[in-house]
Structure 1
Amino acid sequence: MRFGYDDACLDHDPGPRHPESPDRLRAIRQELSKRHGVEYVSARDAKREEVERAHESGYVDRLVEFCESGGGSWDPDTTAVEETWPAALASAGQSMWAARRAVAGDSGRETPFAIGRPPGHHAVADNAMGFCFLNNVAVAAEHALATTETERVAILDWDVHHGNGTQDIFYDRGDVFYASVHEDGLYPGTGDIDETGEGDGEGTTLNVPFDAGAGDAEYVAAFDELVIPAFEAFDPDLVLVSAGFDAHRHDPISRMHVSTDGYGVLTERMQTVSDAVNAGLGFVLEGGYSLDTLSEGVGMVHEVFDGMTPVTPEEDVSEDAREVIDDVLDARQGIGSK
């Protein structure tokens, strides 16, 4: 794979006890140094007008002023320093690069993966939250829609937390489909089954809120029975993955049981669906707070595009997860009849 990376993303440092640490990128780079065929690309930073396709200008003003004055606690979870604004522009820029290269046809061993930070999927149009300042994948989607022949973008979010910001930004849009598989009840408390979009965006949001304990079999079933059919019906020109690795069974802040090999299967599924609809495919880093499992997860994604065939789990889907999948199917059958 080709990895979008910028040293400026290391300069956003919310403190030694904060889980969203610069060490996350250092661990990923160390792990990738053991892998064959890794290439790094440093793309240009996002420009302010590009950020403002996804964010309100008044919010951007407040964020710039906050960082330039030295930063501090934006909220109890989200801490900025002076260098956070440049890091956020670099992270968004890497995500835009991933979208551009995916649209241009980079695939296989050249598939783009933006490994910027701070992450983005909790940032809403007018606010920072959940460690996130700029919604990287939203900026990337808007960039593709505005500057390329892309007409429809599908975003799959496999971070353990629901990407409330991405959903909110595109909730009433018919040109962006947002799907999330996440742990029910975790921060930020959004992502219910009945959140399916509104207005022009009715039906273009799909949430799969699994109970704690869901693992490889449950996630693969959600992809096979819900996400992939929905993406095929939507027929996007570009597929972006908000790739968090905190649903891993050894991540310290979640209770899900996805394995490193499981992430390989999910990667293969996204590769298959993007090929089926002839869409570009790119990845954007989100969460993951065990340095070992985060770096191994990114390495596993790379290995799939380097030719490894992952093994699909043979375990049965739990009854609780089966009920969630059935409830999502029922909810989607009712779309348009409200």
Structure 2
Amino acid sequence: MRFGFDEVCLEHDPGPRHPETPDRLRAIRRGLSKKHAVDYRSADSADESDAMAVHDDEYVAEIRQFCADGGGNWDPDTTAVEETWDAALAAAGLAMWSARRAAAGDDGRATPFAIGRPPGHHATIDDAMGFCFLNNAAVAAQHVIDRGDAERVAIFDWDVHHGNGTQDIFYDREDVFYTSIHEDGLYPGTGEVDETGEGAGDGTTLNVPLPAGAGDPEYFATFDDVLRPAMERFDPDLLLVSAGFDAHRHDPISRMHLSTDGYGHLTQRVRDVADACDAGLGFVLEGGYSLDILSESVGMVHEVFDGLRPVEPDEEDVDEAVADILDDVRDVHDL
């Protein structure tokens, strides 16, 4: 893979006790240094007009000024310092790079993965929350649409938290399909099955809230039985993965049981969907708060594109409660 990285993203420091630490990127880079054929690329930062393409102008100006004044607690979870604004623009710029390169056909070992921070998928049209200031994946999707590089973009969010911000931004849009697998009831408490979009975007939002304890069998069944047919029906030109790694069984802030090899199997599945749709495929980092597990899981995604076949899981039955949820999703989306 080719990893987009910018040292500026290390300068956003919410404090020593905050889980969204600059050490996340340092850990990823240390882990990748032990892997084969790791290629780093730089990218221009987003500018304010890129942010304003998906966020309210007044909000963009407000968060910029908030950082210029020294930052502080935007809310109890979302903390900024003076350097946060430049880091947020850099992270959005890296996501834009990932989307552009994917839309241009970079694949295989050239598949782009933007490892910027702060993350983005909780940032709504007019508010920062959940550690997020600018919605990186949304900025990237809008960027390639505005350039004419893609007409239809699908965003698959496998972070353990629902990407309420990405859903919010594209909820009434027919040209962006947003789908999320997340832990039911976890922050921010959104992402119900019946949240499907509105107006022109009716049917272009698909949520699968899984119960705590769901693991590899439930994630694979969700993807194979629901997400893949829905994404293929949408037929995107570009598939972006909002790649959080906090659904891992050893992440400290969730109760899901996805394994490292499970992320490898999900990676192969999204690659197969992109191939089936003749769509570009790019990745944008979201969450993941165990440094060792984050590093290991990003390394797994990389190695799948380097030819690794993840360990095949033992055959396990899908939890009955999850099977019922998938039935509900199929009914709501006529799958």
What are structure 2's unaligned runs of at least 5 residues? none
**Corresponding residue of 2:231:** 231
Name the amino acid aligned to 1:144: V
Cα distance, 1:312 vs structure 2: 4.3
Between the aligned partners of 2:310 and 2:324, the Cα distance in structure 1 is: 27
Cα distance, 1:40 vs structure 2: 0.4
Cα distance, 1:47 vs structure 2: 1.1
Verify the 8 A CA contact 2:102 2:112 in the aligned structure 1: yes
Cα deviation digits, residues 173-197 of structure 1 (max 9, x gap): 0000000000000000000000001
Cα deviation digits, residues 112-156 of structure 1 (max 9, x gap): 000000000000010100000000000000001001331000000
Cα distance, 1:51 vs structure 2: 1.0
Between the aligned partners of 1:287 and 1:69, the Cα distance in structure 2 is: 27
Between the aligned partners of 1:44 and 1:73, the Cα distance in structure 2 is: 28
Between the aligned partners of 1:22 and 1:154, the Cα distance in structure 2 is: 29
- Asked if residue 279 in structure 1 is aligned to residue 273 in structure 2, the reply is no
**Corresponding residue of 1:268:** 268
**Corresponding residue of 1:151:** 151
**Corresponding residue of 2:324:** 323
Verify the 8 A CA contact 2:20 2:289 in the aligned structure 1: yes
Verify the 8 A CA contact 2:54 2:142 in the aligned structure 1: yes
The residue matched to 2:14 in structure 1 has which SS? coil
**Corresponding residue of 1:73:** 73
Name the amino acid aligned to 1:321: V
The residue matched to 2:208 in structure 1 has which SS? strand
Verify the 8 A CA contact 2:124 2:169 in the aligned structure 1: yes
Verify the 8 A CA contact 2:100 2:149 in the aligned structure 1: no
Identical amino acids, percent of aligned pairs:
71
- Asked if residue 114 in structure 1 is aligned to residue 80 in structure 2, the reply is no
Cα distance, 1:309 vs structure 2: 1.7
More deviation, 117-126/148-157:
148-157
Between the aligned partners of 1:151 and 1:333, the Cα distance in structure 2 is: 24
**Corresponding residue of 1:34:** 34
Name the amino acid aligned to 2:327: D
The residue matched to 2:59 in structure 1 has which SS? helix
**Corresponding residue of 1:93:** 93
Between the aligned partners of 2:195 and 2:125, the Cα distance in structure 1 is: 18
Between the aligned partners of 1:309 and 1:177, the Cα distance in structure 2 is: 29
**Corresponding residue of 1:254:** 254
Alignment length, in residue pairs?
A: 334
Would you identify which runs of 4 or more consecutive aligned residues in structure 1 move more than 3 Å? none
Cα distance, 1:310 vs structure 2: 2.2
Name the amino acid aligned to 2:309: T
The aligned runs of 1:1-338 (5 Å cut-off) are 1-313=1-313, 314-333=315-334
Name the amino acid aligned to 2:324: E
Cα distance, 1:327 vs structure 2: 1.1
Verify the 8 A CA contact 1:268 1:310 in the aligned structure 2: no
The residue matched to 1:239 in structure 2 has which SS? strand
Between the aligned partners of 1:312 and 1:104, the Cα distance in structure 2 is: 32
More deviation, 324-333/98-107:
324-333
Verify the 8 A CA contact 2:104 2:149 in the aligned structure 1: no
More deviation, 48-57/13-22:
48-57
Cα deviation digits, residues 3-47 of structure 1 (max 9, x gap): 000000000000000000000000000000000010000100001
Between the aligned partners of 2:18 and 2:199, the Cα distance in structure 1 is: 39
More deviation, 120-129/325-334:
325-334
The residue matched to 1:139 in structure 2 has which SS? helix
The residue matched to 1:322 in structure 2 has which SS? helix
Aligned-residue CA RMSD (Å): 0.8
Q: Normalised by the size of structure 1, how large is the TM-score?
A: 0.98
The residue matched to 1:182 in structure 2 has which SS? strand
